[in-house]
Structure 1
Amino acid sequence: MPPSNPLPPKENALFKRILRCYEHKQYKNGLKFAKQILSNPKFAEHGETLAMKGLTLNCLGRKEEAYEYVRRGLRNDLKSPVCWHVYGLLQRSDKKYDEAIKCYRNALKWEKENIQILRDLSLLQIQMRDLEGYKDTRYQLFMLRPTQRASWIGFAMSYHLLGDYEMAISILDAFRTNQMKGTDDYEHSELLLYQNMVLAESGQYERALQHLQKFSSQILDKLSIKETSGEYYLKLKRFKEAESVYEDLLKRNPENVMYYEKLIEAKQLVDPDEKVAFFEVYKKEFPRAIAPRRLQLTEALAQPVFEKLVDEYLRHGLHKGIPPLFVDLRSLYAIQDKAETIEKLILQYLENLSKNGTFGPDPSEVKQPASALLWAYYYAAQHFDYKKDTDRALQYIDAAIDHTPTLIELFIVKGRIYKHAGDPVSAYQWLEEAQAMDTADRYVNSKCARYMLRAGHVKRAEDMCAKFTREGVPATENLNEMQCMWFQTEAAAAYKRLQQWGEALKKAHEVDRHFSEIMEDQFDFHSYCMRKMTLRSYVGLLRLEDVLRAHPFYFRAAKVAVDVYLRLDQHPLQDAPQTAEPDTENLAPSELKKLRNKQRKAKRKAEQESALQAQVQVKREQHHKARQQQEQGDPEAPQLDELIPDKLARAEDPLEQALKFLQPLRTLAADRIDTHLMAFEIYFRKDKPLLMLQSIKRAHRLDAAHHHLHDCLLRFQGWLDDNLASLNPAVAAVITKEIEPMVRGRSTEEMAEQFVSQPGAARCQAGALSAARALRRLRPPRALHALQLATSLDYPDLSIQGCVDVLDSLRDGDFGPCEKEIEQYIEACRKKFPYAIAFKPASELSELADDHVADDAPLQPKEIAVNN
């Protein structure tokens, strides 16, 4: 339809030039032409020109002015599709997609067949997963542009995503027969494979197989044809054909583990001996392949057979000098007999290689290279470290270092041994030595930085990473820009252990922003993938984005954030007290001299830090300015609020902030009990009984015997005892009915007693601590028994971190005043874990604290607890 407020020819030509300038990112020229129109008193309030001026200003980063002009234009011309479209673009640039969709729909009221508005609307609908709306919009585009390929593909995909497979298949068939005749290229091949994917997802495997065979000559991805047809044959239980397909695939790639598994399924092998014999055949057929040899070890159960096979495998690995040999075989250690067999063989190799230079006791055997002994030491160190025999592990790794002191892998393993032994400081020092041997190795550099973070040395870790980040930009800025989430999740955990709550929250929020950015980045692919016909990958991308926040990186960051916010809700930060001037008159001369030296050092350090901060700020501003110039004010990249640690740590409502991190997990990580336990902790503090009940029920379905769930149930029942009478009768009735299967008419005291007396529930260290706390809280006369239960060291899953948790609980007063018991417990833990810093005497801790440079924080047991 024509504009509701048309311009005369001269001004109309200027308006068209504004549009061209916007499309070509010539924003300043666009503002100049807009000024020429608006300077004419007759058109000073022309709505569409005002809107385009606002859109151009938005591209230059002048957001407030942009909104003012666009809204003014819209008020002057409410029936203009251009004004509504521009307002939608402005909302889209601020990621307000729901508002942008409303604007586009208003624009379409006045111009129903505007192709550009319909396209923009369809992009927003697929971004927001409004699949019904997307289908309707794609139908309109299809009717308006039936000859365009994107119209057909988008229309078919809308039905596919909604699960209407037959309609999607019929549209794709019609498109292929009418629009793509005589084509035989990559795009046509991808279309056929996408259509085949839709057929398979509809469950029509026979039809999908026939389709694949019919068009195999036109599909260029021959490997995909074979793999997909093999899958279909297995689904259809046509095992002979599947067997033939996977045998051909193994000839193509004998190292593909999946092919062996599928071939076993096709041959219908179940007995372990049959599987061992199966792999024996392929060992002979592919003598250089590793996969059949390794898979055979998993299936071999008979002791003599396994010993013979693993002997061959170990000899080959040690002779060749394969560093990840232990990592490769570690999964076998789940079976005790296999672990003992491997240990026996490794010790034999060490003895024979030291004496004769051979693997066996017979001196006439073929002599092995000198490196075989080195790799045997290397394997033995990792083996005994896995068994938590730290002394023997260190003995063998020291022997390996004496043998070849230039091998970096040895120092990495020694650091790992100390980490597992509870000494993260020594661990990172050995990693630092490894990094110094090859400063160009980014893997060792990153590994060293991670160990530094776990030791609480955040600044050192940043300096280590700075060796591989952009010069002239602070390492943390560059790592954040590169979305280096392993560093940020580790840093968040490190700051949490150091009780620097604001810094921990800043890192968690940075990770959260990365996930938001990744979700925004898919916007670029909605039209691109349809244009390039990468349809299978596009559907995979959409499905990945739907569950993106189920990723472990987000879960770790969210857990840190929730834990910190819960702590801040319970213990809000207080304003820092003003430091009083020390009384220098009554000090001895030596003490006064020490104080003056200390003050001078503190002043010098403060000046250095201030200068460094100023330098960093200048570099940051230069970096942001360069990025803005490079992006030319792209409206799709709005500036985010700066994350200020102190402001984050002083949030007005910490529980609401915690919920923002938790909500995605309740949908995407509902299979993890920690999700529901975190939800309970938040809702318990918010006094939301129905949501508390929901969290407990979901957790109960996952693991009814979980120790933390038991504690949550006790606290919930205690809350009900105090508050049930004040609840709405309908709510109280629902809660009473739903909680009964878990409570079974017992009081909180009875539940606590029964949990302690159960043979398995409290036989893990964390479970025993939780049960002991509840028993001490609910049955004060049983305090001694509760203390004994918590401080016992007889649990099969005893760990350093578990003992640190018990120690923290004792110090926090969960079991009342018990200074003597704390000392006894520390002494017992020190004997059990002699290398663990957490149980070192105060004198040794103070020596370590002198060298500890993690933000000048004192070395605390919680900070240096091991993170296996």
Structure 2
Amino acid sequence: MSRRGAPIIANKEDGTFKEALTLFDSKQYKKSLKLAEQILKKNSNYSDAYSLKALNLYNLKEYEESEIYAQKAIIKGDKLPVTNHILGILRRQQGNHKQAADFFKAALEHGSTNNSIWRDLAIMQLQNRDYKYVIQSRHAFLESAMGYRQNWTSLSVAYYINEDYDAAVKTLIKIEDLVKDKIETEAEIIEDSEVYLFKLQALAKTDATAALKELEGIKTLDVTGALELKANCYMQLEQFDKAQKTYRELLKRNPDNYQYYRYLEAALGSSDKSAKLRLGLYDKLAKFYPRSDPPKFIPLTFLKAQDPEFEPRMRSYVLAQLKRSVPATFQNVKPFYKDSAKVAIIEKIVLQYLAGLENSPLEFVWTHYFLSLHYLRLGKLSEALKYVDAAIKHTPTIVEFYLLKARVLKHFGDLTQSCEVINFGRELDLQDRFVNTKTAKYYNRANQVDKALATVSMFTKNDSSPNGLKDLHTMQASWFIIENGEAFLRTYKETKDAKFLGLALKRFLGIVKIYEEFWTDQMDFHTFCMRKGTCRAYINLLEWEDTIYSSAMYKRALKGAVDAYFIILNEKLNEVEETYVKLNKKEKVAKMKQTEQDKIAYQAYTDDEDFYGHKLVDVLDPLGQLQIKFFNHLFTQSPDSILANEIQFQLQFEIGKKVALVLSALNKIVKADPKNVNIPYYVLSLKNQTKFTDSLSKKLIEKTLEKYELSDPNTLIDSYVTGGDFKSVLGLINVHNLDIPGLQLKPKIMELLGHLEPFEQSELLQLIK
């Protein structure tokens, strides 16, 4: 009886479990959960039900309880394929792609016959950049569904990213004959065109001649892409005559593409020829494309200021734009401001032009605008202010002039007046989103965060909140979030109110969340691009994603977080809420009221009760949090960058456990930038360190210090002050937590103040408070 009874019960449970899975697939999580619980009441060892219950609870946002049942499933069914498959799906939803891959792999290793797991595993491997294993997963899934072109495309891409270009081409050739007569719809035509170009791109990697042969008779929707590939093949084969003809075809299609002109010169071999020969080329191109900027601009980059051709050509280039009152004239010539001789010529040309202007109001004001930008770029703030004031006096209704005046005042260090001026300009055109955002940015720079938020909220959706802060986070407006965070950090330094430090960290973490979303969003494209055949765009996406954490915006957030966490470490901030218990009843009511008001003003995410960021501030291991939440992303993607190693040095030096990491970071900084202004202080900090006391560490430090000759720190500072090297001084001050005996930094800095512009004085004084 017992033998016959066991299978019947098991079958009933299996049937119920299948029904629960069906309900989960149709997103009926509560019903699916109920059935899973029914199974567990009858059989507490049914690990598949534990895993499904965990998955349902996660989708019902019961995250803590979900993890409890996930752990039970792991204990009871670590070798069961269905349990591992469901746990893989759970980890994928949680964003833990490494564990998801491990569970999918375990499901297959323990006998799962569900071939779709191979596809899921491949996606996780791509997300984790485990490229060498992707081929096996894609191949296994292809064998289970060979009738779908996207599976062949996926395998080809897997070979491509592993640099096996021959296999990538052969894979696509196998499917071409099968689909040749079955392409009917517009979508299929586009897919075929894209995949074919991708095949030729892969072929060109190993056999440019064969790729060219196919390109000759190709009919593709992406003509520009085919021409660029053809030109690249000609350059590989050193068939420069054909290459330059192809680049000329590309110029006909887009004469404003600067890169095509550079490639054309490379094909012609004229890049290292005389200026006269190169001028002849660009003069001809200018006749062909008279309305294009590159043929006029590029000669100015290789002509020297002393060349007799330079001044008349620069005059023609600049005045042609000033006569048309082009606001961007200065931006167009800004690249020349690295050469002081060329700058002097530009100044002379524009001043002469201004002196000869008669009865031309538009040219008059935009020439003044140019000169104001010119003098601002040179750091001559009084001159810059004089010219922009003249433009405003002449025509007080042009918004750009107020933006420029605000910028000049900002450099003077007068942030309050700067905000007033730019806001006046904003009020001239209330529908201009750009001016609105600029005004909000200036308010943030002046630490007027409430006005900044009120201003930018005019162009946001405020349906569920009194301001646009939540919408700004939803829309990933990183420019505002980072400015807001830096403003809160400066406010903390002025007021020492811990809530502002927490709010700063919340904003910096908001930037991290945005970039983590960028990283996670590529998940959709691992399948979408294969379905659409957009393989070339997909490869570009992977390359871009591999650099997102080294972008300028992310680095700004990281620098702010480093500053904030070292403040937490050095000032040993206690739990913010501890003071609450010491308040009397009236004070508690007032504090609660203030907290509610702040919640309305500062809450960036719905249901985020820690909107102050107290939990970010109140940590036992601030440097550990800095590594986990902020630093590891940059260090993973860009381990050799200067910023990554500067932070690594500071972190590991302060932690004081692994001297090898400290020395490695210093060596990488020196290798990347031998003149880095922070190097002397890193060396001095090692020389005077008291953290690494064991004999091996001391020996390693001594051996490293032998490589670097270092003058007395006061002598070093004297040289910077005497030379007025403002940037080097700022770099030295920004080194965190280095206590160097005998270094009299502050008096030297005060001595430097007299040599600086007002805006530099303001910045320097803020840093040494």
Verify same fold: TM over 0.5.
yes
The residue type equivalent to 2:235 in the other structure is L
Q: 1:492 aligns with which of 472, 485, 490?
A: 485
Q: Structure 1's 642 and 65: CA in aligned 2 closer, same or farther, altered over 3 A? A: same
Q: Structure 1's 493 and 143: CA in aligned 2 closer, same or farther, altered over 3 A? A: same
Instruction: Determine if the alignment matches structure 1 residue 467 to structure 2 residue 458.
Output: yes
Instruction: Determine if the alignment matches structure 1 residue 207 to structure 2 residue 200.
Output: no
1:309 aligned residue: 313
2:151 and 2:530 in contact (8 A); partners too: no
The residue type equivalent to 2:262 in the other structure is E
Instruction: Determine if the alignment matches structure 1 residue 370 to structure 2 residue 361.
Output: yes
CA deviation digits over 1:554-610, x for unaligned, max 9?
11100110121112211122577979x9xxxxxxxxxxxxxxxxxx9x999979755
1:275 and 1:299 in contact (8 A); partners too: no
Q: 2:681 aligns with which of 699, 708, 711?
A: 711
1:670, distance to aligned residue in structure 2 (A): 4.5
Q: Structure 1's 776 and 27: CA in aligned 2 closer, same or farther, altered over 3 A? A: closer
1:855 aligned residue: none
Q: 2:295 aligns with which of 292, 296, 305?
A: 292
1:714 and 1:751 in contact (8 A); partners too: no
Query: What is the alpha-carbon distance in structure 1 between the residues aligned to residue 77 and residue 641 of structure 2?
Result: 53
Q: Structure 1's 419 and 77: CA in aligned 2 closer, same or farther, altered over 3 A? A: closer
Q: Structure 1's 567 and 253: CA in aligned 2 closer, same or farther, altered over 3 A? A: same
Once the two structures are overlaid, the 10-residue window that deviates more, 604-613 or 183-192, is 604-613
CA deviation digits over 1:126-179, x for unaligned, max 9?
211222332222222223333332332222222222222222222222232345
Query: What are the residue-to-residue correspondences of 1:576-595 with 2, within 5 Å?
Result: none
Q: 1:765 aligns with which of 711, 726, 746?
A: 726
Q: Structure 1's 126 and 377: CA in aligned 2 closer, same or farther, altered over 3 A? A: same
Q: Structure 1's 514 and 614: CA in aligned 2 closer, same or farther, altered over 3 A? A: closer
1:425, distance to aligned residue in structure 2 (A): 1.8
2:534 aligned residue: 534
Once the two structures are overlaid, the 10-residue window that deviates more, 223-232 or 761-770, is 761-770
Once the two structures are overlaid, the 10-residue window that deviates more, 654-663 or 434-443, is 654-663
Q: Structure 1's 565 and 32: CA in aligned 2 closer, same or farther, altered over 3 A? A: closer
Instruction: Determine if the alignment matches structure 1 residue 434 to structure 2 residue 434.
Output: no
2:29 and 2:56 in contact (8 A); partners too: yes
Q: Structure 1's 131 and 72: CA in aligned 2 closer, same or farther, altered over 3 A? A: same
Which structure ranks higher in relative contact order (CA pairs < 8 Å, sequence separation ≥ 6)?
1
CA deviation digits over 1:204-263, x for unaligned, max 9?
43333333335x12x221111112212222233222111111222222222222222222
2:209 and 2:233 in contact (8 A); partners too: yes
1:772 and 1:789 in contact (8 A); partners too: no
Query: What is the alpha-carbon distance in structure 1 between the residues aligned to residue 522 and residue 122 of structure 2?
Result: 14
SS in 2 for 1:243: helix
Q: Structure 1's 63 and 180: CA in aligned 2 closer, same or farther, altered over 3 A? A: farther
Query: What are the residue-to-residue correspondences of 1:220-259 with 2, within 5 Å?
Result: 220-259=221-260
Query: What is the alpha-carbon distance in structure 2 between the residues aligned to residue 420 and residue 568 of structure 1?
Result: 31
1:153 and 1:172 in contact (8 A); partners too: yes
Query: What is the alpha-carbon distance in structure 2 between the residues aligned to residue 604 and residue 793 of structure 1?
Result: 47
Query: What is the alpha-carbon distance in structure 2 between the residues aligned to residue 138 and residue 575 of structure 1?
Result: 51
Q: Structure 1's 668 and 128: CA in aligned 2 closer, same or farther, altered over 3 A? A: closer
1:710, distance to aligned residue in structure 2 (A): 0.5
Instruction: Determine if the alignment matches structure 1 residue 727 to structure 2 residue 688.
Output: no
1:56 aligned residue: 56
CA deviation digits over 1:304-354, x for unaligned, max 9?
42222222223321222211111111112222222122212222222221x
Q: 1:648 aligns with which of 606, 609, 616?
A: 616
1:30 aligned residue: 32
1:196 aligned residue: 200
SS in 2 for 1:707: coil
1:837 aligned residue: none
Ranges in structure 2 where 5+ consecutive residues have no aligned partner: 1-5, 493-499
The residue type equivalent to 2:676 in the other structure is H
Q: Structure 1's 548 and 505: CA in aligned 2 closer, same or farther, altered over 3 A? A: same
CA deviation digits over 1:502-559, x for unaligned, max 9?
2211111111111112211111121121111111111222222222201111111001
Q: Structure 1's 490 and 769: CA in aligned 2 closer, same or farther, altered over 3 A? A: closer
Q: Structure 1's 507 and 67: CA in aligned 2 closer, same or farther, altered over 3 A? A: closer
1:297, distance to aligned residue in structure 2 (A): 2.8
Once the two structures are overlaid, the 10-residue window that deviates more, 278-287 or 64-73, is 64-73
SS in 1 for 2:707: helix
1:383 and 1:393 in contact (8 A); partners too: yes
1:673, distance to aligned residue in structure 2 (A): 2.7
Query: What is the alpha-carbon distance in structure 2 between the residues aligned to residue 297 and residue 223 of structure 1?
Result: 28
1:93, distance to aligned residue in structure 2 (A): 2.0
Q: Structure 1's 111 and 704: CA in aligned 2 closer, same or farther, altered over 3 A? A: same
Bigger Cα Rg: 1
Q: Structure 1's 297 and 769: CA in aligned 2 closer, same or farther, altered over 3 A? A: closer
1:70 and 1:83 in contact (8 A); partners too: no
The residue type equivalent to 1:96 in the other structure is N
Query: What is the alpha-carbon distance in structure 2 between the residues aligned to residue 761 and residue 713 of structure 1?
Result: 22
Instruction: Determine if the alignment matches structure 1 residue 477 to structure 2 residue 478.
Output: no
1:476, distance to aligned residue in structure 2 (A): 1.7
1:615, distance to aligned residue in structure 2 (A): 5.4
CA deviation digits over 1:350-392, x for unaligned, max 9?
2221xx33xxxxxxxxxxx531212112212212222222222
1:777, distance to aligned residue in structure 2 (A): 5.6
Instruction: Determine if the alignment matches structure 1 residue 102 to structure 2 residue 102.
Output: yes
Q: Structure 1's 779 and 33: CA in aligned 2 closer, same or farther, altered over 3 A? A: closer
The residue type equivalent to 2:650 in the other structure is E
TM-score by length of 2: 0.87
Q: 1:275 aligns with which of 268, 278, 298?
A: 278
Cα RMSD (Å) of the superposition? 3.6
2:672 aligned residue: 702
Query: What is the alpha-carbon distance in structure 2 between the residues aligned to residue 77 and residue 756 of structure 1?
Result: 65
Once the two structures are overlaid, the 10-residue window that deviates more, 47-56 or 317-326, is 47-56
Query: What is the alpha-carbon distance in structure 2 between the residues aligned to residue 779 and residue 489 of structure 1?
Result: 37
Query: What is the alpha-carbon distance in structure 2 between the residues aligned to residue 779 and residue 57 of structure 1?
Result: 61
2:329 aligned residue: 325
1:742 aligned residue: 708
Query: What are the residue-to-residue correspondences of 1:329-728 with 2, within 5 Å?
Result: 329-353=333-357, 356-357=358-359, 369-472=360-463, 473=465, 474-499=467-492, 500-574=500-574, 609=594, 612-613=597-598, 642=610, 644-660=612-628, 661-670=630-639, 672-687=641-656, 688-719=658-689, 726-728=693-695
Q: Structure 1's 229 and 401: CA in aligned 2 closer, same or farther, altered over 3 A? A: same
Q: Structure 1's 50 and 769: CA in aligned 2 closer, same or farther, altered over 3 A? A: closer
Aligned residues: 739
The residue type equivalent to 2:96 in the other structure is K
1:673 and 1:702 in contact (8 A); partners too: yes
Instruction: Determine if the alignment matches structure 1 residue 752 to structure 2 residue 713.
Output: yes
Q: Structure 1's 376 and 717: CA in aligned 2 closer, same or farther, altered over 3 A? A: same
1:462, distance to aligned residue in structure 2 (A): 0.8
Q: Structure 1's 21 and 764: CA in aligned 2 closer, same or farther, altered over 3 A? A: same
1:276 and 1:299 in contact (8 A); partners too: no
Q: Structure 1's 287 and 99: CA in aligned 2 closer, same or farther, altered over 3 A? A: closer
1:644, distance to aligned residue in structure 2 (A): 4.0
Query: What is the alpha-carbon distance in structure 1 between the residues aligned to residue 230 and residue 430 of structure 2?
Result: 48
Query: What is the alpha-carbon distance in structure 2 between the residues aligned to residue 55 and residue 84 of structure 1?
Result: 12
SS in 1 for 2:706: helix
Query: What is the alpha-carbon distance in structure 2 between the residues aligned to residue 77 and residue 476 of structure 1?
Result: 45
1:138 aligned residue: 138
1:791 and 1:806 in contact (8 A); partners too: no
TM-score by length of 1: 0.77
SS in 2 for 1:741: coil
The residue type equivalent to 2:432 in the other structure is D
Q: Structure 1's 428 and 769: CA in aligned 2 closer, same or farther, altered over 3 A? A: closer
